[in-house]
Amino acid sequence: MDTHDRTAQHIKDSLDTKNLAECLTPTGRFSYCALCATSLSCLYKDHVHNEFKLDCLRILCNHLKLMLQLRTMQEMASCELPLDAKVYVRSLKKEEVLKDGLMIIVQDLLLLAISNGLKVGTYDARWRVLILYVTRIFDLDLNIVDNFELQVVNCLSNFLPAQTEQEQADAARRNNISKTKRFAMIGLASVGGGILIGLTGGLAAPLIGSGLASVLGSSAIFGAIGTIGGSAVIGSLFGVAGASLTGYKMHKRVGDIEEFQFHKLSTDTETGDVHLHITIVISGWLSDERESSYIQPWEYLRDSPEQYYLRYESSYLLELGKAMDYFLSFAVSVAVQESLKYTVLSGLMAAIAWPAGILGLSSVIDNPWGVCCRRSAQVGKQLADTLLTHSHGNRPVTLIGYSLGARVIYYCLREMSQREKCHGIVQNAILIGTPCTRNSSEWNKITQVVAGRVVNAYCRSDWLLKFLYRTLSMQANGVAGLEAVQSSNDRIENIDLTSIVSGHFDYPQKLSEILMFIGINVDESAKLKHQIISTQSMPEGMCEKLNINNHFDNMKKSKSEIDLAIMSKNNEGQ
Amino acid sequence: MDPSVLTTLKILLIGQSGVGKSCLLYRFTDDTFNVDNAVTIGVDFKMRKITVDNNNIKLALWDTAGQERFRTLTPNYYRDGQGAVLVYDVSNRDSFTCLETWINELNMYSTKPNIIKMVVGNKIDQERRVSREEGIAFARRHQTLFIETSAKTKEGVHMAFEELVRKIINTPSLWEKPEDVNVVRCNNENSAPEQSYCSC
C-alpha cells in the first residue's frame, strides 16, 4: 500500500499551499463573510437560530481575520430585508486567487464546516444548507458539494498514519476515553498549542490544523482538518462508521409499534460507505409482501450516496394496500374515478355528494386507513426519538415520504419541534400527498426544525384522500395533501402535482417524476425516461415555478368549473 | 421591544477615505479617540441610544469604508437609510471636492427620497484648507444640514448626530410605521407646542 507515501505527499502539499484567508484581499474577505451573513439572514429568520448564526459568524470571522467585524456581520445576518448578495459575488469574482472560479470559496466553506463539525462533534444541517445556498448564489452545480464531501471523507478515512507500538497503545487508551473527555482534550489543545499534539495524538489537530485551510485539491483537506486519526475519528465524531442505521434497535417503544427498522436502499459501494449526509425515505403503503415493494418507488432516487428506507408496520401497510387495490379495481369504475377527480377539483363537494356505491364500500378502506394513520403518527414519534439521539450519526438527514410516509415525517418533525436540541439535524423534508392538517401554525412549528427545504407537494384531484377525510373535522383547516399550506413565513414550498398525478394511487408509480419536479436528484436514466430536465432549486427559484403552476391552476380550475356547470345543467334538464 | 424607545433609525456615514468617519463614530458611541484607527473593512456597525426632545431613539450607525476598493460594496448599505452623514476633512481640499460624487451616489442608491443629509466638516483642530463658508454654501446648494466637528476634541460631534436625529424625527414619513400612526400623532401634538416656543 502506498497510503503512507500518499499521506506524506499530502501533508507536504498542504504546507506548500496557502491559506485562502491570506490570499484574499480585504475586500474579498469582507465580501466572503458578508455573503455568508446575508445568506444566513435569508435562510434563518426565526430567532431560535440566533445562536447558530452567531456561532457560524464567529467561526467565519475568525477564519477570515475579521473578528472586529463580528458585530457588523451579526447585524447583517439579522436584517429583515436581506441585502443584495450579487454585489459580493461580483466583488469576489475580481479576486486574483479566485480567477479559476468561485468553487474555491465553496471548498473553503465546506472545510470550515467540517473542521468545526469535528471540533464540536456534529455536522450541523444548517451549515450544509448554508453551503448549498452559497453554491447556488455562485451559480455552481449543487452536486459539487456532494462530491467535495465525498473527497473529504475518503481522504480522512483512507488516511492511516504509520503507527508505532507506543502510538497503538495510545490509540487503544484513547478509545477508552469517553466522548466528553475527548472534547475536553481538544479544547485544551487550543490553550497549550503545539505541545499538546504529542499528548493527544492526532486528535488535537482538528483545532490547530484548521488555520491551514488551503486552496488546492485534496491536500487542502489535510490542511484544513489536520492529520487526524482517520476513519476512527471521523467515525466517532460524525457517527458515520459506528452508528449504522441498519443496525438500529428500538430500545424504547413509542406507543404500540410492532415494526421499525432501517434498511439500505441503494448498495452503492463505489463511493465507499461513509458519508456526510443521508436520506431516509418512507413509503405510504405496500402492494405486496416482497421487500421490493418498499424499494421500487424509490428506485431512481439519488438524493445522497447513503440512502435508507424505513420499514414500519408492514402488516398494516399491506392490509391498507390490499384494501386500496380492491377499492380501486372492483368498486370504483374508471368513469366514476374520472368524474370524482373533477368534482374534487372544484372543491365544492359536500360529504353528501359521494356516490352511494363508494359510500357502501367505505368500510373496506376506512378501517385499515384509520389504523395506519394512528400507527404512522406513532412511528413518526419513534423516528423523532431516533434522530434526536443521533442514531444516524451527527450528520444532516433528509426525509422524503409519500402518503402515510409523509404523515410519519410530519409527526416526526412535530415531535422534534417540542424537544430540545432539535435544530440542525434535518436538512430537507419532502412531504408528498400528506394526510395531515393544513393548519399553518402547526406547519410553522415544523419549519423551525428543518434547516433547508420544507416541501408540501399536493394534488388537488386526489379524490381518495378527500374521501377518507370526508367525515373528519379537518375540513375547516383542510388536508395538506390536497391543498397548499398557507403560511405567513416563506419557508414552506407548496408544489402542485395535479399535472403529474391524478390521485393518491399514482404516487408510488410516478415518484421519480414527482421527485424530479420537486428538484430532488434522480438517476439519469429516469430523467431520460420522463424527458424532463430536472431543475435543482431552493426556495427562491421555486417561486418562479410556483407562479407557472398557479397559472396552470387557474386554467384547470376554470375548466372544471365549466364541467360542473354543464353537469348541473344536465341535472336540471332531467 | 423596549416600549420606551420611539424608533430605530438607520444612519449612514459616508465620505472619502481618511476623513475620520470611524473616528466620529467611535467618539460618538464610545467616547474614545484613536489617531491610528485601522482602515475600515467594508462596513462597520454600531448601536447607540440617544434622547432627543424627550424621545428615546435607537441609532443603528453604519460606517462605510471610504477606500476606493470597497466602492462597489458600500452602496448596498444605503438602502433604507433615514439619515446620512457626509463627512469631509477641512484640512484636505480633495475630500471636500469629491463630496459631490458621494452625494450623487447616495441619491442614486438610497431608497428613501427624503433621506435627511448632513454635511460634516471634520478635523477643525487641524490647519484649514476649506473654509466654513464654502462648506455652508455646499450644504445650502444640496439642501443638507451643516456642521463642523472635531472627533479629536469632541467639538460638535454629539450635536451633529442630535441635529440629524431631530430633523429625522420631525419628518415622520421617514420612520413612521403604518400601524403606529396614532402613537405618532399624539407625540407630535405634544412636541409641537414645545417646538413653537423654541423657534420663537
Write the DSSP string, B59-105.
EEEEEE--SGGGTTTGGGG-TT-SEEEEEEETT-HHHHHTHHHHHHH
Q: Nine-digit cell at A145?
A: 458539494
A66 touches chain B (CB under 8 A): yes
Confidence bin at A491 (pLDDT 50/70/90): confident
Share of chain B above pLDDT 70, in %: 87
Burial profile A494-520: b = 16 or more Cβ within 10 angstroms, e = fewer? bbbbbebbbbbbbbbebbbbbbbbbbb
pLDDT at A40: 94
Q: Which residue has the higher pLDDT, A434 or A366?
A: A434
pLDDT at B30: 92
pLDDT at A234: 54
SS3 (DSSP) at A531: coil
- Choose among A26, A72, A87: nearest Cβ to B72: A87
Burial profile A35-53: b = 16 or more Cβ within 10 angstroms, e = fewer? bbbbbbbbbbeeeebeebb
pLDDT at A268: 56
The H or E element spanning position A455 is strand A454-458
Contact in structure between A427 and A132 (CB atoms under 8 Å): no
pLDDT at A334 over 50: yes
The CATH class, in words, for B7-174 is: alpha beta
pLDDT at B189 over 60: no
- Choose among B41, B72, B76: nearest Cβ to A26: B41
State pTM to two decimals.
0.78
Question: Residue B2, Cβ neighbours under 10 Å: how many?
Answer: 9
Mean pLDDT of the region B40-59: 91
pLDDT at A177: 42
Q: How far is B43 from chain A (nearest CA, A)?
A: 7
pLDDT at A228 over 50: no
Share of chain A above pLDDT 70, in %: 63
Contact in structure between A2 and A22 (CB atoms under 8 Å): no
Mean pLDDT of the region A487-495: 86
Mean pLDDT of the region B47-67: 92
Q: Lowest-confidence range among A374-378, A493-497, A565-569?
A: A565-569
Residues A121 and A114: their CA atoms lie apart, in Å, by 10
Q: Which residue has the higher pLDDT, A487 or B163?
A: B163
pLDDT at A455: 95
Mean pLDDT of the region A190-211: 27
Search chain A and give the residue with CA nearest B67: A27
Domain ranges of chain B: 7-174
Q: Which residue has the higher pLDDT, B193 or A158?
A: A158
Mean pLDDT in chain A?
Answer: 73
pLDDT at A347: 54
Contact in structure between B51 and B40 (CB atoms under 8 Å): no
pLDDT at A397: 92
Looking up cell 410519519, which residue turns up? A408
Q: How far is B166 from chain A (nearest CA, A)?
A: 24
Mean pLDDT of the region B50-55: 90
pLDDT tens column, A133-187: 999 999 988 888 888 887 777 766 655 444 445 545 554 554 444 343 333 333 3
Nearest to A235 by CA among A394, A357, A355: A394
Q: How far is B183 from chain A (nearest CA, A)?
A: 23
- CB within 8 Å of A405: residues ≥ 6 apart: A281, A282, A283, A284, A310, A376
Looking up cell 375540513, which residue turns up? A475
Confidence bin at A344 (pLDDT 50/70/90): low
A378 touches chain B (CB under 8 A): no
pLDDT at A554: 42
Burial profile A203-234: b = 16 or more Cβ within 10 angstroms, e = fewer? bbbbbbbbebbbbeebbbbbbbbbbbbbbbbb
* DSSP at A142: T
pLDDT tens column, A246-280: 666 665 666 678 888 888 886 555 555 567 888 99
B43 touches chain A (CB under 8 A): yes
pLDDT at A218: 44
Contact in structure between A429 and A465 (CB atoms under 8 Å): no
Confidence bin at A188 (pLDDT 50/70/90): very low
pLDDT at A438: 87
Chain-chain contact of B79 with A30 (C-beta, under 8 angstroms):
no
pLDDT at B176: 80
Interface contacts A/B by beta carbons within 8 Å: 51
Mean pLDDT of the region A225-245: 50
Share of chain A above pLDDT 90, in %: 26
Residues A183 and A189: their CA atoms lie apart, in Å, by 10
pLDDT at B139: 94
Of these ranges, A24-33, A113-122, A175-184, A518-527, the one predicted with the greatest mean pLDDT is: A24-33
Residues in chain B with CB shorter than 8 Å from the CB of A25 are 69
